[in-house]
Structure 1
Amino acid sequence: MAGAWVGQAGAADVLIQNATVHTASSAGTLTDTDVLIHNGRIAAIGKDLVAANAEIVDAKGKPLSPGLFGGVNALGIEDVSLEIGTVDSAYTPSATVPAGEQEYRPEFNVADAYNPESVVIPVQRVEGVTFDVVAPNSLPGGTLFSGLGGAALLDGRSQFLSNSETLFIAFGTGASPLTGNSRAAQLMLLREAFVEAKAPAVTDNGLLTAQGRATLRRYADGGRVAFNVNRAIDISRVLDFAKTQGIKPVIIGGIESWQLRDRLAAEKVTVVLDPLVNLPNDFDSLGASLETANWLNQAGVPLAFYLSGDAAHNARKVRQAAGNAVAHGLDWQAGLRAITSVPARTFGITDRGEIAVGQFADLVLWTGDPLEVTTLAETVWIEGKAQSPRTHQTELRDRYKR
């Protein structure tokens, strides 16, 4: 942190003054603090900063936070859920492909379908969401390996952020129709696929294509693999499998993860949790609780939030879910980190997610507490550039107000 900072600022420099800065880092919250943005990054943080030619934004004590995480969802690869022409989130072999022929495709990568011009994206961005993990789904007719996804910066660029690529695997009840309706079959197929990926030669009747083997081999060497899994015993077996294979697991869902919180903390495994899930909707979620987030945080488990239902269209509501977790005992700072710095670090993003010198200036100025449902995002910056408050909805509103 700086005291007074004096420097020559370019035309695009921004000096935000008198803000309540929620850093989402070990620095916590800083009151009456200035933040200087230079060349798209945070150049200085402190009191009474001065920068020639910078645009001055007087926050008047309002909260300033890092840009928010929208969750793990199909943002940018699904616009209208019931219109197949706008849904690219799952690999489902057609009826013309013989059963069992090359149906396990870990190389399926939704980055090739991501649409940065999706009308769904600005709706999330105007409410403070600046990055999102775009993930494939496993649907009936799909496969155990959902495929590859990664983190998208919601500023119109078409490429995912570097180092964020993640392999997604379905496990438990949700994957049963894809694997002979047995968890034993799921583990059997996972083990066989990883053995096949590491083998020097494979017969023609293998589970994977040559490209699939090459993809899986990369993850078998310590890559990040996200398992969509909820039941406690299934999470335990996923952790065992990950340790055996030498992969870095992330738990998506994790409804019963609180039962394994000491192990998850010791192994530093992030749980990406929907904190609004409080009732079981199947036999994998009998242990659902609104206190799960608090229990995990108290145990030291890295914690991130997402929404599990219609998540792409409601990514902006993740901060409300974080506020709900705080209402049920979670520390406020942990709630903010769960939608900023923790998911950023979990998915390989080291230069975003906190307000710190050298980080990219992905920031949000709020009208009030960012975890309160009535609070609005006043200004959203991505890499120091203020984002337009216009969306398809505001265009329609203005058109028909005339």
Structure 2
Amino acid sequence: MSRRVTSLAGALLLALAGSASAQELLIRNATVHTATSRGTLQNADVLVHGGRIAAVGSHLSAPAGVTMVDANGAPVTPALFGGLTHLGVEEVSGEDSTVDASLGMGENGRAINVRPEFDVTLAFNPDATAIPVSRVEGIGESILMPSLGEGGSIILGQGGMVRMDGTPDPVGPRVLFIALGDQVEDQSGHSRAGQWMLLEQWLDEARGRIAPTTNAASLTPAGRAVLAKFARGEGLVMFQVDRAADIRQLLKFAQRQHLRIGIVGGSEAWRVAREIAAAKVPVFVDPLANLPANFDEIGARMDNAAILRQSGVTVGIVQGGENPTHNARNTRQLAGNAVANGLPWEDGLAALTRVPAEVFGLRDTGTIAVGQRADLVLWTGDPLDVANVAKQVWFDGRPIVMRSRQTDLRDRYLAPQGPLPRAYAVPDRAR
């Protein structure tokens, strides 16, 4: 039976009514930001079949039983990338028992405590309360990134992409994270030169040039196997680095070691943009990094992303600061700031969709194109503008209920006072 639904609320109720039609969807009359070479399509339709995008164009016909949503010209984008976070491995940042993002190896940091086999995705909890908060604001996925633990090493460990739809396991290949510069001076003998020395030694050991039975060996058997894989170029190594001089050394090091690398942070990357572009290294920047928080960021500036992109660098957007997990939903606003400082709008959207999907090895997300997963967001207006919000989010063509702990608290304390104080009010889950 074919039904035409003109209101978004009605479409959501119909879609939730039966699982058979949950992945069948036609969004009509939308401004479709494809994040592909097709760019933005005006008054376009998106047809979803079996959880995948079946067609993108004008005046598409809907098979019987397909849920139809009239966007009335509003923007539709792929679900957005939430950056490099601890979503799902951190509940309350100030409560250690709820934080699983780092591997602590003792009070006194020692370089020998290198554990590349540490995989933070093993602690991922898809039911973490921070996930719905990000999800209802259009965030579809995030890279879980390990952080530096007390007594850890400059090799932080492995992370990977996780979906915000309740999927319990990470998707895509693992990524190795390494920190450089001032932030890890305690782990490298208080010398940046020591960081390169240690990395050279560990890679030599992983390649069998240092016998595991010698006093110079630092890796466990599992650590050697993991690092050997990345040393063969079989995985992406993301380096947290800001200073231009360190980035220059990194590019030389990666070429010498035949590593496939990316950069996180890169506050001074604009100063070496041409070298980064020539090396084809992607850079994930924080567009609000414009002041020298430390001596590695003296040259930070807000048009960093624009300069990098103009030079041909692949640019992604991440949340900086100390709390990227609970601010993951702000990545779209960061992209908006990058656009305000010279980054083309289409590149700003790509930095949150196509770019992270390509860089982190996901082939079926990040764009609105035939065959891609139907992870979509309908917005009230320009998604990179703080004044607009996500109206509806779909994963694999299935609409999510647009609720989170924050919306429940909002509804509780905006409701009229009842016989008991508002704190005793139970949210109406049926809505």
C-alpha separation between the residues in 1 aligned to 2:109 and 2:257?
A: 28
1:139: how far off? 3.7
**Any idea what the Cα deviations from partners look like across 1:89-132, whole Å, max 9, x if unmatched?**
1111135xx97595100000001111111100110110000010
Which residue of 1 is the match for residue 425 of structure 2?
none
Q: Does 1:103 align with 2:113?
A: yes
Q: In the alignment, residue 90 of structure 2 is paired with which amino acid?
A: E
Q: Is the 8 A contact 2:110 2:152 kept in 1?
A: no
Structure 2 residue aligned with 1:224, among 223, 236, 240? Answer: 236
**Any idea what the Cα deviations from partners look like across 1:112-163, whole Å, max 9, x if unmatched?**
1111111001101100000100100114422111000000011111111022
Which residue of 1 is the match for residue 166 of structure 2?
156
Q: Does 1:195 align with 2:204?
A: yes
Change (3 A) 1:347 1:193: same
What is the DSSP-based 3-state SS (H/G/I as helix, E as strand, rest coil) of the residue aligned with 1:147?
Answer: strand
Q: Is the 8 A contact 1:92 1:143 kept in 2?
A: no
Structure 2 residue aligned with 1:132, among 142, 149, 159? Answer: 142
Q: Is the 8 A contact 2:106 2:150 kept in 1?
A: no
Q: Does 1:207 align with 2:205?
A: no
Q: Is the 8 A contact 1:74 1:311 kept in 2?
A: yes
Which residue of 1 is the match for residue 7 of structure 2?
none
Structure 2 residue aligned with 1:146, among 141, 156, 163? Answer: 156
Q: Does 1:386 align with 2:399?
A: yes
C-alpha separation between the residues in 1 aligned to 2:204 and 2:295?
A: 31
Gaps of 5+ in 2: 1-19, 419-431
What is the DSSP-based 3-state SS (H/G/I as helix, E as strand, rest coil) of the residue aligned with 1:65?
Answer: strand
Which residue of 2 is the match for residue 45 of structure 1?
56
Structure 2 residue aligned with 1:333, among 346, 371, 380? Answer: 346
Structure 2 residue aligned with 1:55, among 67, 76, 91? Answer: 67
Instruction: After superposing the two structures, state which structure 1 stretch, 296-305 or 196-205, moved more.
Output: 196-205
Q: In the alignment, residue 35 of structure 2 is paired with which amino acid?
A: A
C-alpha separation between the residues in 1 aligned to 2:214 and 2:411?
A: 60
Larger Rg: 2
1:3-402 to structure 2, matched below 5 A, reads 11-12=21-22, 13-52=24-63, 53-94=65-106, 100=110, 103-163=113-173, 165-199=174-208, 201-205=211-215, 206-222=217-233, 223-309=235-321, 310-400=323-413, 401=415
Change (3 A) 1:284 1:140: farther
CA-based RMSD: 1.4
Q: Is the 8 A contact 1:68 1:128 kept in 2?
A: yes
What is the DSSP-based 3-state SS (H/G/I as helix, E as strand, rest coil) of the residue aligned with 2:172?
Answer: coil
1:350: how far off? 1.3
**Any idea what the Cα deviations from partners look like across 1:248-307, whole Å, max 9, x if unmatched?**
110000001111111111221100000011111111001100111110111110000011
TM-score by length of 1: 0.94
Q: Is the 8 A contact 1:140 1:178 kept in 2?
A: no
C-alpha separation between the residues in 1 aligned to 2:218 and 2:37?
A: 46
Which residue of 2 is the match for residue 6 of structure 1?
none
C-alpha separation between the residues in 2 aligned to 1:296 and 1:28?
A: 21
C-alpha separation between the residues in 2 aligned to 1:280 and 1:214?
A: 38
1:370: how far off? 0.5
What is the DSSP-based 3-state SS (H/G/I as helix, E as strand, rest coil) of the residue aligned with 2:324?
Answer: coil
C-alpha separation between the residues in 2 aligned to 1:289 and 1:101?
A: 33
Gaps of 5+ in 1: 1-9
What is the DSSP-based 3-state SS (H/G/I as helix, E as strand, rest coil) of the residue aligned with 1:280?
Answer: coil
Aligned residues: 390
Q: Is the 8 A contact 1:91 1:143 kept in 2?
A: no
C-alpha separation between the residues in 2 aligned to 1:51 and 1:290?
A: 45
C-alpha separation between the residues in 2 aligned to 1:58 and 1:293?
A: 35
Q: In the alignment, residue 149 of structure 1 is paired with which amino acid?
A: G
1:396: how far off? 2.9
Q: Is the 8 A contact 2:92 2:98 kept in 1?
A: yes
C-alpha separation between the residues in 1 aligned to 2:324 and 2:373?
A: 26
Q: Is the 8 A contact 2:232 2:258 kept in 1?
A: yes
TM-score by length of 2: 0.88
